[in-house]
Amino acid sequence: MLFYQLRLPIVEESLENIQPQQIEELFEVFFRKFDSLPTACLLIDDWQFTRTRLGYRDWRFEHFISFIQSRYSFNNNKVIITSQLKFNPPSGVYPIILPPLDHEAIRSIINWIVRSTRVDASPVLIPTELIKRLHGNPLAATIVSQLLERFSVDSILENTQVQERFQNRLIPLLLEQIELNEDERELLSYLSIYNIPFEFKVIEQFSEEKSVELVEALTDYFLIDFDIETGLYEMHPLVREHFQKSIPSETKISYHTLAADYYAEKTKLPNASPAEKGEHVSQVASSLQFEKVQALRSVYLDELRPVALGLFKDRHVKEALKYYEVLDNLYPDDVDIKFHIGLCYAHQEFWADAESFIAKALNLNGDAWWVLAGYGDILAKKRCLGPAEKYLNNALELMDRIKAPQWRYSAVFQSLALVYNKDWHKAEEYYFKAIQSDETSAFAYYAYAKFLFREGDPQYALEQLNIAEKLDGSFRVRNPLKEKILAQLKGNRIDQSQEGVQEEFEFYDEAYEDDEQVK
């Protein structure tokens, strides 16, 4: 192709069995013509595809790089090679590693994309808090620009479901060209639990003799960054949460215990920083060492809130309740804390306590429709249908009064469909309303597909499930249900009354629907 661009004759078949001396002569011919041009730039993109872990896929690529290094040019023509992975070029070839874009550049990207898709061309106000979360990544800025077409800035910053949509679109694109081995994945999973930069000692204690090799590979992939000024490593923030979510609960606790022990020693040193003390509290809390947390609660106590929420989402409601109660003692006027204490009691079916804390949350904020909706959702799942219907309808009335966004209604209608699960026509009516309220919600189509499958219509259920998949290609709950639908369509009878099937579906439902309803 290079020869064709310069209109040089070449017989492609002859390249198959070409020898090193012959290819050197070809390079001489090409660059003699290239250097004769008054102004020229040769740009070779995606050089990472020429390499494997062991070196170049083809010796001719290596010879090309060596030839570039050895040649002399007497004009300003340039050869630029780009790669998404680091590689060590020979001397004379000067590598440039592009740093993250600054805040103004990221803001400009978002502004340009959003304004180009709107009739109103006025500037978009993007808060610094949102810009910081993108960590200078232009791809992340592009995806946020797309989300801003239907979500407010506040929703992107605060709503868990919207944040997950962002992660689910971005991370597969960042990792699609990287092949990680088992040791690299295990180390990334472990490092993902750290919230602040860490020393090489953290890696060495975990990976032992493999540490240097693994660090070199992961820094080449730009998944771990090394700060030469501080001497600390940090996992790329945009992929840290992705790996953290993949860790099994028991393994995650053991990882947090290792980290807690490490920071227990670090914080004994006289020069321990506030950030290290805060990380110690966070790691102790995440390792479920509750008594130690109480002893340390005077240090960065706000570290407890995200830990408590993580435990709640993982369905460790008893442990989550302990942390929320500590927070409640310190922040008695916090609606979110009261709300989650109520949900923790509801999951354990301590209804009097649950009602008490839900009422306290509503007393603190009478417009908190999500408190009514979230509690009503749990009541529906626990088959307390009368109270569930009351809370969910009250939530709808409040949403109408305060003019909540239309897409927010979708999750409430899904919960009401659960209330009328035995009334086929009524349930389907609410699933229709859920989809109409948010036609881009993969969760609404998934819930409707599950309902149809249970009602004995696997073909239509599959159609709805396929729509959910198109809306969100990384929709992680689709496979278990899809396998059962396909099995039934192939003629394998499935007893839908089996408890195992229903419990599995319930688990997946709850993992998503709470995120839609809990603000």
- In angstroms, what is the C-alpha Rg of the chain? 28
Specify which residues 227 forms β-bridges with.
Answer: 232
Q: How far apart are CA 143 and CA 113, in angstroms?
A: 10
Q: How far apart are CA 193 and CA 279, in angstroms?
A: 10
Q: φ, ψ for residue 55 (rounded to 5)?
A: 140, -155
Specify which residues 41 forms β-bridges with.
Answer: 78
425-482 per-position pLDDT tens digit? 999 999 999 999 999 888 899 899 999 998 888 899 889 988 888 887 655 544 678 8
Q: How far apart are CA 492 and CA 183, in angstroms?
A: 39
SS3 call for 17? coil
DSSP 101: P
Kindly tell me the number of DSSP H helices and DSSP E strands found in the chain: 27, 6
Pairing mode of beta strands 232-235, 224-227: antiparallel
Here the tokens at position 246 are 């993949």
204 C-beta neighbours (distance < 10 Å), count: 14
213 contact partners, CB below 8 Å, separation of at least 6 = none
User: Which residue, 254, 264, 263, 181, is CA-closest to 223?
Assistant: 181
How many alpha carbons lie under 13 Å from residue 255 in its C-beta half-sphere?
Answer: 20
Q: How far apart are CA 191 and CA 197, in angstroms?
A: 10
User: Which residue, 489, 484, 431, 428, is CA-closest to 459?
Assistant: 489
43 C-beta neighbours (distance < 10 Å), count: 9
pLDDT at position 5? 61
User: Which residue, 112, 31, 117, is CA-closest to 73?
Assistant: 31
- Whether this prediction's pTM lies above 0.85 is answered by no
Helix%, strand%, coil% for the chain, nearest 5: 65, 5, 30
pLDDT in tens, the chain (519 residues): 565 565 666 666 666 677 777 778 778 877 877 778 888 888 877 776 776 666 777 777 877 877 777 776 667 777 888 776 666 666 666 777 777 788 888 888 888 888 777 666 666 777 776 787 777 778 788 888 877 777 777 777 666 666 677 767 777 766 766 778 899 999 999 999 998 899 999 999 999 889 888 888 888 777 888 887 888 998 877 788 888 888 988 899 999 999 999 998 988 888 877 678 778 888 888 888 877 777 776 555 566 788 888 889 888 998 888 888 877 876 788 999 999 999 999 999 989 889 989 999 999 999 999 999 999 999 999 999 999 999 999 999 999 999 999 999 999 999 999 999 888 899 999 999 999 999 988 889 989 999 999 888 889 988 998 888 888 765 554 467 888 888 888 875 544 444 333 333 333 333 333 443 443
Specify which residues 225 forms β-bridges with.
Answer: 234
Neighbour-count burial for 402-427, b at 16+ CB within 10 Å, e otherwise: eebeebbbbbbbbbbbbbbbeeeeeb
Q: How far apart are CA 183 and CA 108, in angstroms?
A: 39
Q: How far apart are CA 365 and CA 371, in angstroms?
A: 9
Here the tokens at position 445 are 């189509």
pLDDT at position 13? 62
